[in-house]
Amino acid sequence: MAVARRLYYSTDELLSRFKPALTSTFDVYINKTFNDVDSEIVNFSAYEAVIPGSSYETTQVFGDRQGITQTYANKRVYPPVDVSFYVDKDYNVIKFFERWMENIQPNLGVRGDSYSKFKYPESGGYKSDVIITKFERQFDSNRDSTKKITDPTEPDQIKYTLLNAYPTNIISLPVSYDQSNILRTTVTFNYDLYSVEYKKFGKSGFTEINSPGGGGPSVSGIL
């Protein structure tokens, strides 16, 4: 069997080939609206997010005769995702997530009831998609020095869509008489699973993982 020849590069060559991704270029989009809240302000206010991860729970099988212990994946686990937001002076961010939480269970303090029922995701409609896009600063285009920029090209990007997401926790917002700072909050989202799309600079295409169709994980697309 032929063995592929391994190529060796100098440090300078490796540095020229390796282009690190930057943490400060990303976008958050929440696909949900409320009549009395400016949702565009909420999306724009996100200053920190987490690219979701996943892991597998495993089961051990003990080989009594072979004397080998083997492990097999039996369940994929999607941990919650935290997104941090600046709070604007009109409190759109706070109102948005308070409305969303009330959409899951009405606020007892407003209604004055002794109890309140949780809504079902289908009838209450409190689940929605949250999209986190990580892109790079590649502002390239076909341009003429005497004309306006034409045919802009999208930068490299990777997009995570948290399917059927909803907020489960809004952290407390501390206020004090110390030196003033921008008010910030962090929201924790739970979700069913996520899909991933990739776009290469100058090309269009995607790779989708964990199709939401219910038929189990799938991988498709072109890079």
Q: Which two tokens stand for residue 137?
A: 């600063």
What per-residue confidence (pLDDT) applies to 187? 96
- Indicate if the pLDDT at residue 25 is higher than 60: yes
Task: Examine the pLDDT at 151 and tell me if it is beyond 70.
Answer: no
* pLDDT 10s digits, 61-79: 887 667 788 888 988 999 9
3-state secondary structure of 193: strand
Copy the structure tokens of residue 110.
Answer: 């407003």
Q: Which amino acid is at 92?
A: N
Q: Is the pTM of this model over 0.75?
A: no
Determine the average pLDDT of the residues in 103-129. 76
Residue 183: the pLDDT is 93
Q: Is the pLDDT of residue 39 over 50?
A: yes
C-alpha span between 91 and 151 (Å, rounded): 38
pLDDT value at position 13? 79
Of 208, 210, 207, 219, residue with least CA distance to 191: 210
> How confident is the prediction for the chain on average, in pLDDT?
78
> Is the pLDDT reported for residue 215 higher than 60?
no
Domains defined for the chain, CATH in brackets: 21-55+73-136+156-194 (2.30.110)
Task: Work out the percent of the chain whose per-residue pLDDT is above 70.
Answer: 74
- Predicted local distance difference test score (pLDDT) of residue 4: 67
Average pLDDT, stretch 102-118? Answer: 72
Q: Taking a C-beta distance cutoff of 8 angstroms, is the pair 163, 191 a contact?
A: yes
The answer on pLDDT for 100 being more than 80 is yes
Residue 15 pLDDT > 90, yes or no?
no
Amino acid identity for residue 100 in this structure: W
Question: Is the pLDDT score of 1 beyond 90?
Answer: no
- How many beta carbons lie within 10 A of that of residue 208, not counting itself? 15
Mean pLDDT of 43-49: 94
What residues have CB less than 8 Å from 205, skipping those under 6 apart?
A: 198, 199, 221, 222, 223
Question: In DSSP terms, which residues pair with 56 in a beta bridge?
Answer: 76
Greatest Cα pair distance, the chain, in angstroms, is 79
**pLDDT, position 16:** 78
Task: Check pLDDT > 80 for residue 8.
Answer: no
